[in-house]
Amino acid sequence: MDESLISLQPDQAVKRVFEPMKSARDTLARLAKVLEPMGKLAQLTDVFEPIRAFQEQLADVAAAFEPVKALRSHFENLANRFEPMRGFQREFEHVAEAFHERLMQLATAMQPATAFQEELTALVRAFEPAKALQRRFVELSRAFGDGEKSDSRTRGRRVQTTDSPTR
């Protein structure tokens, strides 16, 4: 530790010890401002339930379509031999292709959500040290604190160190 700290007043000495952490504290304070919009983003997840229900309905339709799809080559063979069946066979192909295209559009529409999920996963990994560091700082603070007294700046505030997420 710097010997010049000894000549300083106690408050000044402590302040100087913690000076290197000022920019880190400022950065962490900016995170608090990000939490509010993140809460609003969480509300967007309500969109997934109707999509999931729709997907389940389409899974039932797709399962029912499988035996009909197996007849595709028979329809084509019949359409080549019997002219009136060509229209039916074309309509059948058109319906199948329209379903395919719409499902691919829905899958593409989900891309921002999956990209966001990947970003969140990366952020979770990047922030993993925070909880352990917070816990350790709380432990370290106990070495300097009096269990009966509370710093006026932290009085009334609870430092959350549990593993449960906050909302």
* DSSP helix/strand/coil, 161: coil
Q: Spell out the residues 6+ positions from residue 141 whose beta carbon is closer than 8 angstroms to its own.
A: none
How many Å apart are CA 97 and CA 13, to the nearest integer?
74
Whole-number Å distance between alpha carbons of 163 and 165: 6
Report d(CA 110, CA 117) in Å as an integer.
Answer: 11
pLDDT (tens digit per residue) in 64-118? 988 888 888 888 888 899 898 888 888 988 998 999 999 999 999 999 999 999 9
pTM: 0.61
**Cβ contacts of 103 within 8 Å, gap of 6 or more:** 58
Q: Assess contact for 89 and 78: CB atoms under 8 A.
A: yes
CB 166 within 8 Å of CB 160:
yes
Q: How far, in Å, are 72, 79, 140, 141 from residue 145 at the CA level?
A: 78, 87, 9, 6
Cα–Cα dist 46/50, whole Å? 8
pLDDT tens digit sequence for 13-47: 888 888 888 888 888 888 888 888 888 888 888 88
72-81 vs 48-70: helix crossing angle, rounded to 10: 50
Query: Which tokens sit at 119?
Result: 């970003």
pLDDT digits (tens, 9 = 90+) for 143-160: 988 755 544 444 444 555
